[in-house]
Amino acid sequence: MESTSADRLARELLEDCLAGRPWPEHLLAGLLDGSGDRALFRIVVERLGDLFEPHLSSVYAELFSEVIARRISELHAEHLAARYQRVRRPRVFDRDPAAIQDVFVLSRVTLGADVAITSVMLDAAKQRFPGARIWFAGPRKNWELFQADPRLSHLAIAYGRSGTLDDRLSIWRELREAVSKPASIVIDPDSRLTQLGLLPVCTEDDYYFFESRAYGGASSDEPLPVLASRWAAETFGSRDPRPYIATGLDAARFATTVSFGVGENPDKRIADPFEEELLEKLPRPVLIDKGAGGEEAQRVERAVAKAGGGIEMWEGSFAGFAEHVARSRLYVGYDSAGGHVASACGVPSIIIFAGFACERMLQRWSPPGAHVLRGDSSVARALVRAASTLLSTLGFPATS
């Protein structure tokens, strides 16, 4: 199936989901029987989550239960959907914590979400279960953000965010076998590893699910780290669990750290010459992340070449860059993982937010304590002026 055809089917399916209508069989079948896996995730699944409408969590559960059942014959759509409605209800851990030997905290897979949300769960688990072994279950790149924490162990689970549907579901049996241990519990912070809570990995009694897309209701304007902390405190009795990192890496000190990464979402970016003009204003010395290479690295190189001296480029691991962020005086970037690291480490930050699906998405993903500038390419110059004003307010006179 050509991508344009898959995109069309996915958009029609999304319209039915948002309108609360039963979706025609041919839409889902067309996506699953052809090459529409990526369109299904990119257009339908991500949009349903980004809107943070509590009722859409149930819509997603009904839809994706059917998707999973079509790929894994031993699972049944109606059973998955019914289970989801049970586990989504918050409940208090009321057993003896000393009886728990292993606590598995599932990765959210994206780096920013693992700092903003998953690390809160790790902190809560360490408090509530001081004698248990706490496992971070997820990709190695994400684990590197916490590898120096002596209380944590790593359960390596690879997950390809850009893989096919079958690739993404293929980890289920491996994950289920690894976490289904006697005297253990699983904390799921709305992980992609379980397809947002749908794949059963252990008994329901041992499973604690934070439904981040619905928790807090439709009226709350609080960010996800605050909601995650509240859920963890209510569930486990932990005291004010907070985001953190523990890389154990060395890092030099820069006045400003910067990331213009957009996570393969070009709508988050402000068009040229915004980035180079913003770089010109930032306190030196500056360290800017080149990202994973390709187009992002080329953008960074162009901006640095035009923005004057006093700027170094980072080409190492994200964990290494995160440690530089933690030791810097200021962080600047688009809505991405670096902003959540800065927030977790108490570093002042300026976050440029564009391309968000709705107001609640901006509220949920704004790092606590960050100075958020919202806009798009039509107001690029105004954003630069606003950033300059913020720099002065924060005690960082602009360089030009």
pLDDT tens-digit profile of 386-397?
888 888 888 887
- Do 293 and 378 fall within a single domain? yes
**Pairing of β 133-138 and β 102-106:** parallel
Peptide bond into 367 cis (omega under 30): no
Q: Enter the pTM of the model.
A: 0.95
CA distances from 26 to 50, 59, 84, 118, 158 (A): 25, 18, 25, 37, 32
- Do 80 and 112 fall within a single domain? no
Query: H helices then E strands: how many in the chain?
Result: 18, 11
Query: The tokens of 304 are what?
Result: 């640095």
The helix-helix angle for 119-128 and 224-236 (nearest 10°) equals 20
What whole-number distance in Å separates Cα of residue 211 and Cα of residue 58?
Answer: 11
Average pLDDT over the chain reads: 94
- Do 200 and 284 fall within a single domain? no
Q: What pLDDT is stored for residue 375 in this prediction?
A: 83
What residues contact residue 389 under an 8 Å CB cut-off, 6+ apart?
Answer: none
Domain boundary pick from 63, 87, 111: 87
CA distances from 312 to 186, 254, 325 (A): 42, 10, 13
Over residues 122-153, the pLDDT tens digits come to: 999 999 999 999 999 999 999 999 999 999 99
In a domain, 246, yes or no: no
- Do 128 and 226 fall within a single domain? yes
Over residues 200-219, the pLDDT tens digits come to: 999 999 999 999 999 998 77
Q: Does the structure show a pLDDT above 90 at 371?
A: yes
Q: Does the structure show a pLDDT above 70 at 167?
A: yes
- Do 220 and 272 fall within a single domain? no
Q: Does the structure show a pLDDT above 80 at 74?
A: yes
Domain with 109, as residue range(s), is 97-236
Would you place residue 384 in the very low, low, confident or very high pLDDT band (cuts 50, 70, 90)? confident
Q: Does the structure show a pLDDT above 90 at 157?
A: yes
- Do 288 and 350 fall within a single domain? yes
Domain boundary pick from 60, 87, 114: 87
- Do 161 and 50 fall within a single domain? no
pLDDT top residue among 51 and 391: 51
Domain boundary pick from 69, 87, 105: 87
In a domain, 244, yes or no: no
Q: What pLDDT is stored for residue 3 in this prediction?
A: 64
Nearest CA-CA partner of 201 in 157, 167, 234? 157
- Do 125 and 73 fall within a single domain? no
- Do 283 and 378 fall within a single domain? yes
- Do 346 and 268 fall within a single domain? yes
Nearest CA-CA partner of 132 in 161, 95, 88? 95
Over residues 337-356, the pLDDT tens digits come to: 999 999 999 999 999 999 99
Over residues 112-123, the pLDDT tens digits come to: 999 999 999 999
Q: What pLDDT is stored for residue 2 in this prediction?
A: 53
Over residues 282-325, the pLDDT tens digits come to: 999 999 999 888 888 999 999 999 998 999 999 999 999 999 99
Q: What percent of the chain lies above the pLDDT cut of 90? A: 84
Helices (H), 144-247: 165-169, 172-179, 224-236
Burial string for 95-114 (b: 16+ CB within 10 Å, else e) reads eebeebebbbbbbbbbbbbb
In a domain, 400, yes or no: no
- Do 127 and 167 fall within a single domain? yes
The answer to whether 354 and 210 are in contact (CB under 8 A) is no
What whole-number distance in Å separates Cα of residue 312 and Cα of residue 193?
Answer: 36
- Do 218 and 106 fall within a single domain? yes
Indicate the number of domains in the chain: 3
